[in-house]
Amino acid sequence: MLILGIESSCDETAASVVKDHRQILSSVISTQIEEHKKYGGVVPEIASRRHCENILGVTRKALSDAGVTLADIDAVAVTYAPGLIGALLVGVNFAKALAMAAGKPLVPVHHIAGHIATNYLTHPGLEPPYLCLVASGGHSHIIEVLDYTHFHVVGRTRDDAAGECFDKCARAMGFPYPGGVHVDNAAQTGDPKAFRLPHPAVAGNEFDFSFSGLKTAVINMLHHAEQKGETIDRNDLSASLQATISQILTEKTMLAAQALGYKKIALAGGVSANSGVRSTLAAACEKRGYEFFMPEKKLCGDNGAMIACQGSYNFDAGIFADESLNAIATLSMDEI
């Protein structure tokens, strides 16, 4: 089975051809980071325009890199939710037109389900059920992956996502957008115990996250230091922030795993590229004798292969869309 996957939910225009669920034949990503960097974050209008300009070329290249034509493809899979609405609409309408013109089935894919599927692309033996921590720029979720197409969200962020916390703190420290990777790099030579940062408490669901208090604490610390004419060591603050976020994500995931009886844990989303999150979660799983899975680094950020992979499982489950498919900016995994 050959699936073409198309992704345009944020600032990456991406397309990929995946064979038999887990074999990546091609993966083309056109990133807009350099352009959004000037504004310190993604400008939705610019993102939509760049997707319009790039999507045809990216898709053509994905097909040619895979050595196939549209005629060889079994279905066109596309991210329809969640994300920036104007950005999503470009991919959805392009995929609809392509599927209709080529007479191929159209498969809708939830972006978070796509991130989870990066683990299938990395680990040939991984099968549901398992518990997955998904941390990205827009989401921080603990999800029960019941089977390939059924999910149950057991914990979510009440405010900012983990990636947003990395990025906003990075910006306050003077790193360019998106700052998560710069914090990661700076943390390598910093002291994670240099600053005591808050672990925000969350009332109610014990598996939910809150990152806005941590973000505010870091930003306030930097402002106060600036007002007093003091300088804060960016490497130490980065290391302390990274350690705190890694601990929060890991603690909640371990809590949920124990309460729900999961011994198989996975990590996904853009923040899964973070060295601290990877090593802290891996160590916690090892300590408890849990199996642990994480995507290879090049699959952590948004890409088309994750959409094609999840699309192939949706295809098997008979999840198809017609020309009425619309993009949805906010859609919980529980609703798909």
Q: Under the rule (CB under 5 A), what is the footprint of Zn ion?
A: 136, 302
* DSSP state at residue 82: S
Report the amino acid identity of residue 309: C
Strand-pair partners of 79: 109
- Count residues binding ligand KG4 (CB under 6 A): 19
Phi, psi of 275 (to 5 degrees): -65, -35
Could you tell me which stretch among 18-26, 177-185, 230-238, 312-320 binds ligand KG4 (CB under 6 A)? Answer: 177-185
| Binding at 7: pick from Zn ion, ligand KG4, none (beta carbon under 5-8 Å per type) | none
Shortest Cβ distance from residue 163 to Zn ion (Å)? 9
Q: Residue 7 and residue 52: Cα distance in Å, rounded?
A: 12
| Binding at 295: pick from ligand KG4, Zn ion, none (beta carbon under 5-8 Å per type) | none
Could you tell me which stretch among 160-168, 215-223, 286-294, 306-314 binds ligand KG4 (CB under 6 A)? Answer: 160-168
Q: Residue 43 and residue 305: Cα distance in Å, rounded?
A: 25
Exposed/middle/buried for residue 103 (C-beta within 10 Å: 0-12, 13-18, 19+): exposed
Q: Which is nearer to ligand KG4, 91 or 269 (CB)?
A: 269
269: left (phi over 0), alpha (psi -120 to 50) or beta: left
Could you tell me which stretch among 121-129, 145-153, 179-187, 248-256 binds ligand KG4 (CB under 6 A)? Answer: 179-187
Report residue 91 as tokens.
């991919």
Shortest Cβ distance from residue 23 to ligand KG4 (Å)? 22
Shortest Cβ distance from residue 329 to ligand KG4 (Å)? 13
Contact 325, 81 (CB under 8 A): no
| Binding at 274: pick from ligand KG4, Zn ion, none (beta carbon under 5-8 Å per type) | ligand KG4
Contact code string over 30-59 relative to ligand KG4, x by CB under 6 A: ------------------------------
Contact 333, 110 (CB under 8 A): yes
Contact code string over 245-284 relative to ligand KG4, x by CB under 6 A: ------------------------xxx-xx----------
Shortest Cβ distance from residue 264 to ligand KG4 (Å)? 22
Shortest Cβ distance from residue 277 to ligand KG4 (Å)? 7
Shortest Cβ distance from residue 289 to ligand KG4 (Å)? 27
Strands 150-156 and 140-147 come out as antiparallel
How crowded is residue 224: how many other Cβ atoms within 10 Å of its Cβ? Answer: 11
Q: Residue 264 and residue 248: Cα distance in Å, rounded?
A: 19
Contact code string over 103-142 relative to ligand KG4, x by CB under 6 A: ---------------------------------xxx----
Q: Which is nearer to ligand KG4, 83 or 105 (CB)?
A: 83
* Residue nearest ligand KG4 (C-beta atom): 270
Touching ligand KG4, residues 282-301 (CB under 6 A): 301
Shortest Cβ distance from residue 98 to Zn ion (Å)? 22
Shortest Cβ distance from residue 215 to ligand KG4 (Å)? 12
- In SS3 terms, 119-167 reads as HHHHCCCCCCCEEEEEECCCCEEEEEEEECCEEEEEEEECCCCHHHHHH
Please name the helix (run of DSSP H) or strand (run of DSSP E) that holds residue 22, with its range, or none.
Answer: none
Q: How far apart are the first and last CA of the chain?
A: 23
Contact 134, 104 (CB under 8 A): no
**Which residue from 244, 227, 96, 229 is spatially nearest to 169, judged by alpha carbons?**
244
Contact between 236 and ligand KG4 per CB under 6 A: no
* Contact footprint for ligand KG4 (CB under 6 A): 10, 136-138, 163, 166-167, 178-181, 184, 269-271, 273-274, 301-302
